[in-house]
A and B are shown apart, each in its own frame.
Chain A
């Protein structure tokens, strides 16, 4: 080996900001070349992206709507990640939450709105939590690999909805088209200031989770367990109980995302309900350094990127795939910069320059 990757012990604020700004600049330059290849002016496209995400009240609202599920799911995933429990199952937990909420929405469409919505929220949180308890139980009891189990459970959840959509829950009024009926008015979350009320829930949860992770006994136990299981054991933490509780919270939050999406955004359940949020939120959680306030900021910026990517497709007629490449490139550099903020390359011989080239 000619080089070593060494974790940085301490990095100055200035230096870390410098690395991040460099990453963004590199991303803009590389994407710019790509845009030039598409015969478009990069500056125009970038400005349109900013316009697309923040250019008008409508667009800011769209960005916020995209940010809400990312924020709540990221908060949930962060609880598990803090414990170094790699919950890749956000997607499945969202789906099961959405399923439970839809069950009440479709079965009791005429209940009074506050009652029905509360029932849907409780059902979704419980269902998402239970879905996350499955891998937690196996981890606590048999020390199984949670990454694999949570990932696989995603597909089970998705196939379950596919079955419902094509089978027992198919809307008979849709003339054979495989779609679940739309919810009644009472099952739809109200708007507040132009955006559905999910944004209030998201903001409240950011605050609550911040307090929970930093100032509660359980939050502390989760953090200790994540650092070292032995330390936690010596400190008298009930390991199994903590794993189960943490995952119930993690999955419960994801389940809540599912309820908000089916109720406020989709107005029905479908296999498209998550829009990949369960996976995207892994990125935002990580970029958000598992900290609630940073997750809020990162999720919002990420939502802006998605909204901007969608906007330039329509505005410039850029193919969907090209817009995704743009999003991917920006993400690639930002994630890359995180690596250099946390680690540094030290040379073993005199060839570090070569390798740096290779890495970048």
Chain B
């Protein structure tokens, strides 16, 4: 028994030696690499709703983060797969505790928590993506995804043979609704008979459910699948059925080489560099921006061999017209699903009206609940 006891003592002693021994030598290094630290003390945090490797929404933001690191050499940190619940507050406080002074929160459901923590930490700058709240130290930013979505609608409208296009959508939020509408208007600009069928998955990130929704749409006769959800699930469904697809967030050709035609994509890097540079220069001010293709934040990914003939020319033409302002996506006459005229001929919806859209245009099949 004495032997056992002494053995334990030795173990405890050696363990405590290890712990205390490394405490002095490594405590400095534990919070980011010291040798990489730049001249300023800017640390930028990113909060993602999905895994950084989701090849979708969060991946696009993470590409922006990496670009920011490369361009400005600032220290960044991120937390992935954060649920849109009270954990957000803890994650933000953890980042502040780790020295973050600029934090990007990149999901709609993070808004209220970001606002709360922003009020408690007036010295920290927050930038929330896709919401609408603004404080002195909290910006909101987003991209006019409707522009490339309209372009992808052109591709889908030219491709479809059944005149049914399936659309896998996350939540019935204005962001998603206006995207569906822009897409449908793009479809109708080249194919007035085609309908867009919508299925909600009520999640931003759920590979299985998104794929199931796409399969259901294919069963209902759709031969092109588009999506406003963050995983390649719908792309895979189209690939397996030998149909075609429009991706989202990033080039998804690897996941569905024979189905994928193109995708509306995000390029956050430039905006992130610009904002963090402003913080470094001390010129940062909170703002509320909605950036389009001319700012480079959104774009349409290159068309693949699966895209229909003539699509490239049509897309190029529409893109140019959107950028120079001659093509307005939400220009009258626009009817809603019931056939009522919502935007009369000769008028164009304002940004605010588009931003808070809660109705579907004619030609969309689906319910907003």
Contact = CB atoms under 8 A, between A and B. Distances in A.
Interface of A: 12, 14-15, 17-18, 21-22, 25, 41, 43-44, 46-48, 50-51, 56, 58-59, 62, 166, 175-179, 182, 265-267, 270, 272-273, 275, 310-311, 313-315, 317, 319-321
Contacts of A18: 4, 7-8
A314 B81 contact: no
A320 B91 CA distance: 13
Given A266-B86, A310-B94, A311-B94, 4 more contacts: A21-B8, A21-B12, A62-B94, A314-B77
Most chain A CB neighbours (cut-off 10 Å) among B1, B5, B31, B97: B97
Contact of A177 (B7, B12, B173): B173
Contact of B11 (A25, A56, A176, A317): A25
B87 interface: yes
Contacts of A320: 51, 79-81
Kindly list the 4 A-B residue pairs having the minimum CB-CB distance in the complex, ordered from nearest: A272-B85, A43-B22, A266-B86, A48-B30
B89 to A, nearest CB: 9
Given A177-B173, A314-B77, A265 B51 contact: no
Given A175-B174, A319-B80, A47 B22 contact: yes
A316 to B, nearest CB: 8
A43 B18 contact: yes
Contact of A15 (B4, B29, B171): B4
A25 to B, nearest CB: 7
Contact of B78 (A62, A166, A273, A314): A314
A48 B29 CA distance: 10
A275 B83 CA distance: 10
Contacts of B80: 313, 319-320
A317 B91 CA distance: 13
B290 to A, nearest CB: 15
Interface string B15-39: 1001100110011011110000000
A262 B178 CA distance: 33
Contact of A270 (B30, B85, B177): B85
Contact of B112 (A41, A182, A319, A321): A182
A47 B15 contact: no
A277 to B, nearest CB: 13
What DSSP secondary structure best describes chain A's contact surface? helix
Given A43-B22, A265-B86, A12 B1 contact: yes
Contact of B23 (A25, A47, A166, A317): A47
Contacts of A178: 171, 202
A14 B91 CA distance: 41
Given A44-B26, A182-B112, A320-B80, A14 B5 contact: yes
B86 A272 contact: yes
A266 to B, nearest CB: 4
B358 interface: yes
Contacts of A59: 97
Given A43-B18, A58-B97, A272 B5 contact: no
Contact of A176 (B78, B112, B173): B173
Given A21-B11, A272-B86, A314 B22 contact: no
B67 interface: no
B95 interface: yes
Given A43-B22, A51-B27, A175-B173, A317 B97 contact: no
B30 A14 contact: no
25 contacts: A14-B4, A14-B5, A14-B8, A17-B8, A18-B4, A41-B26, A43-B18, A44-B30, A46-B22, A58-B93, A59-B97, A62-B90, A176-B171, A176-B172, A177-B109, A177-B171, A182-B112, A266-B85, A266-B86, A267-B86, A314-B45, A315-B31, A319-B52, A320-B51, A320-B81
Contacts of B174: 175-176
A154 to B, nearest CB: 18
B271 interface: no
Most chain A CB neighbours (cut-off 10 Å) among B26, B45, B53, B87: B26
Nearest to A17: B8
B139 to A, nearest CB: 18
